[in-house]
Amino acid sequence: MRFALFGNTYETYKSVHAEQLFAILSSHGDEVYVDRDFHRFLCEAQSFAFNPAGIIDNLDNLGIDMAISLGGDGTFLKAARCVGTTGIPIVGINTGRLGFLADVSADEMGDFFTKLHKGHYTIRERSLLELTTSDNSEPSYAINEITVSKHDSSSMIAVHTAVGGEHLATYMGDGLIIATPTGSTAYSLSAGGPIIYPQADVFVLTAVAPHSLNVRPIVIADNKAIELRIESRSGSFLVAVDGISRSYPEHTTLTLRKAAHTICVVKKEGNTFFHTLQKKMMWGTDPRQ
């Protein structure tokens, strides 16, 4: 098989997992193409000798069968951005902490890739949010969430929100999170939002530190466009797309809708979302045991 490898480029001690992964894939006769940033990191952080099939800046015309994310969910999100609309499925090897997207642990790599080569895995599609703006910038895509937040640390912002052309609410506070089902276990959950089943055709809107006790998260159908207009005393606001922020002037209108393409996630055979909840979040576990 032909793999594209993306990895964590911040924590040197975790790069030892890359050496183990190269050895495992080499034993199967696989070709490994390495993301340029990760390749540079490995060359600086490790002394082991490896000979990738190539260094990649993009995945066009390489005939990649699967992408591998070696790190945490943040690394997986980077891999998803690089995969884009290609439809290449992504395997997440978790060397981070929680790992909802990257759910194959480092000590499971050998067994997992043996089973993968035998076809013992599943692929699940995850929906994306598409962001377009009134300044005609290129669309942006999020697998987890798009967050609108204030540009400074003092005053609130007002987020005028319409769904399907109908006014929903004006959120006063630190900001607003619009999350996919995949992102419902990320920032939205920390802000009090619900957990959404990954294949549900919905989005969830969760306010960040709202200036009203009446404001609660709301789940909406993902076939309706969401339009946001923002008022800010600073004259600007921030938009974070899966954690990558950009500043906009307050007159900018944001439109969010379900993207036409999806991201394909490779899962261990028999590994379900409920199993992940039980394992990662101790769902339903009796603390006395």
Residue 196 near residue 181 (C-beta atoms within 8 A): yes
What per-residue string of b and e applies to 78-114 under the rule 16 or more CB within 10 Å gives b? Answer: bbbbbbeebebbbbbbbbbeebbbbbbeeeebeebbe
Question: Which candidate in 30, 35, 73, 103 is catalytic?
Answer: 73
**In this structure, how many other beta carbons lie within 10 angstroms of the beta carbon of residue 151?**
18
In the numeric block, which tokens belong to residue 116?
A: 């993968």
* Distance set, CA 78 to CA 5, 58, 72, 126, 170 (Å): 11, 12, 10, 15, 32
73 an active-site residue? yes
Question: d(Cα 166, Cα 240) in Å, to the nearest integer?
Answer: 24
The catalytic residue positions are 73
